[in-house]
């Protein structure tokens, strides 16, 4: 098994377990809420972790079929999975701090701190480039092997 595939399988497990554990957190919030609801970013952390776990499996399949060299597949995996993990971590932090219901709403809050817009938007641009670019590398490599 190539390194890219190992990284995908590992990330799938970590993301899936994060989804299960944040599901317990979400349940606890719902059970203790007068409105029977969890904070928005607790819910987002739970759902995104589960979705990213299956996305990691998909990227692993793409990597296994890719015609590109291992170093390029590994780069694509690291870029995409790294930002999947950073996104989940951001959602968990906002869920713990309960500091926002929309991390892109101005002013950008992180607990008691106000973040400059360029940090938030710069992170989002890097996330888009890394996730789409990494997935594009793996997906096109796999498509080239089957067609």
What are the boundaries of each domain within the chain?
3-146
Sequence-separated (6 or more) residues with CB below 8 Å from residue 64? 2, 5, 142
How far are the Cα atoms of 67, 113, 136, 138 from residue 143, in angstroms, in the given order?
A: 9, 45, 10, 9
Q: What percent of the chain has pLDDT over 70?
A: 100
pLDDT of residue 94: 97
Q: 43-97: per-residue pLDDT in tens? A: 999 999 999 999 999 999 999 999 999 999 999 999 999 999 999 999 999 999 9
Mean of the per-residue pLDDT values of the chain: 97
111 Rama sector, left if φ>0, alpha if ψ -120 to 50, beta otherwise: left
């Amino acid at each position: 098994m190539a390194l890219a595939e190992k990284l995908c399988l590992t990330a799938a497990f970590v993301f899936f377990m994060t989804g299960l554990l944040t599901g317990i957190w979400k349940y606890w919030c719902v059970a203790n809420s007068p409105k029977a609801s969890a904070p928005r970013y607790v819910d987002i952390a739970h759902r995104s972790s589960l979705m990213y776990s299956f996305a990691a499996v998909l990227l692993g399949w793409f990597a296994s079929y890719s015609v590109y060299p291992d170093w390029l597949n590994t780069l694509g995996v690291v870029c995409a999975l790294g930002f999947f993990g950073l996104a989940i971590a951001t959602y968990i932090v906002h869920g713990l701090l309960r500091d926002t219901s929309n991390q892109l709403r101005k002013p950008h809050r992180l607990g008691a701190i106000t973040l400059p817009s360029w940090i938030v938007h710069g992170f989002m641009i890097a996330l888009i480039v890394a996730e789409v670019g990494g997935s594009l590398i793996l997906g096109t490599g796999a498509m080239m092997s089957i067609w």
